[in-house]
Amino acid sequence: MARYTGPSCRLCRREGMKLFLKGTKCYTPKCPVEKRAFPPGMHGQIRVKLSDYGIQLREKQKVKRMYGVLERQFRRYFSVAQKTKGVTGQMLLEMLERRLDNVLYRMGFATSRHEGREMVRHRAVTVNGRLVDLPSYAVKVGDVVQVAPKRDGQAARMKENVDRTKDRPAPAWIQIDAQQLKGVIVRVPQKDDIGLPVQEQLIVELYSK
pLDDT for 92 = 96
- What's the pTM? 0.84
Does one domain contain both 168 and 138? yes
Query: Which of residues 95, 113, 141 is at a domain's end?
Result: 95
Closest CA to 150 of 176, 123, 132, 182: 123
Query: Which of residues 39, 62, 95 is at a domain's end?
Result: 95
Domain of residue 110 covers 99-187
Query: Which of residues 95, 123, 151 is at a domain's end?
Result: 95
In a domain, 157, yes or no: yes
In a domain, 195, yes or no: no
pLDDT for 1 = 47
| String of DSSP letters for 137-179 | -B--TT-EEEEPTT-HHHHHHHHHHHHHTTTSPPPTTEEEETT
Between residues 54 and 127, the one the model is more confident about: 127
Q: Which amino acid is located at 182 in the chain?
A: K
Between residues 56 and 20, the one the model is more confident about: 56
Q: Which amino acid is located at 71 in the chain?
A: E
